[in-house]
C-alpha cells in the first residue's frame, strides 16, 4: 500500500489545478448555493406541511411497521432530509415516540394517546 492510507478514492490534485478551480468558483457563489439549498429545503418542508396536515402524515406513517427517516421519506414521497425534520417535529410534539435505533438513526412509533 502507498502512503494514502489504503482508502482509495480521488487522488490529490496538484496545487496548480486546485488554484485554478478555486479561482473559477469564488467563495461568494458557494455561499449563495448553500443558502439557496437551505431555502429550498425549508420551502419543501413547509409546502409538504401545507399539502398534508399532521393527521394525514400520521395516517400515512401508521401503515409502517417501523417509522424510520427513509421509510417516511418513501411513504410521503419526499427527501430524507425533509422527512427527518418532519419526524423530529412530530416527536417534539409528542405525536411519535422513539422505539429504538442506533447511532443517530432513530426508529419511531406512533404515540397511541389519541
Predicted confidence (pLDDT) per residue in 14-55, tens digit: 666 656 655 555 556 666 666 666 666 666 566 555 567 888
Query: Residue 114 has what pLDDT?
Result: 46
Annotation: CATH topology of 27-110 = Arc Repressor Mutant, subunit A (1.10.10)
Query: Residue 107 has what pLDDT?
Result: 92
Helix ranges, 1-114 (H):
15-24, 27-51, 54-62, 69-76, 80-92
Rounded CA separation 88/101 (Å): 14
Please answer whether residues 89 and 53 qualify as being in contact, where contact means their C-beta atoms are separated by less than 8 angstroms.
no
Give me the mean pLDDT over the 1-14 stretch: 60
**The whole model's pTM is what?**
0.56
pLDDT exceeding 70 applies to what percent of the chain?
A: 54
Predicted confidence (pLDDT) per residue in 52-99, tens digit: 788 888 888 988 888 999 999 999 888 888 889 889 989 999 999 999
Query: Residue 31 has what pLDDT?
Result: 65
Burial 8-43 (b: 16+ CB within 10 A, else e): eeeeeeeeeeeeeeeeeeeeeeeeeeeeeeeeeeee
Please, what sign has the CA dihedral across residues 31, 37, 41, 46? positive
Amino acid at each position: 500500500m502507498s502512503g494514502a492510507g489504503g482508502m482509495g478514492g480521488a487522488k490529490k490534485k496538484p496545487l496548480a489545478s486546485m488554484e485554478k478551480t478555486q479561482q473559477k468558483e469564488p467563495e461568494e457563489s458557494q455561499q449563495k448555493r448553500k443558502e439557496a439549498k437551505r431555502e429550498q429545503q425549508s420551502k419543501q418542508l413547509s409546502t409538504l406541511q401545507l399539502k398534508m396536515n399532521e393527521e394525514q402524515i400520521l395516517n400515512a406513517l401508521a401503515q409502517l411497521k417501523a417509522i424510520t427517516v427513509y421509510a417516511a421519506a418513501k411513504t410521503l414521497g419526499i427527501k430524507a432530509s425533509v422527512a427527518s425534520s418532519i419526524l423530529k417535529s412530530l416527536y417534539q410534539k409528542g405525536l411519535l415516540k422513539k422505539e429504538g435505533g442506533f447511532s443517530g438513526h432513530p426508529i419511531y412509533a406512533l404515540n397511541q394517546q389519541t
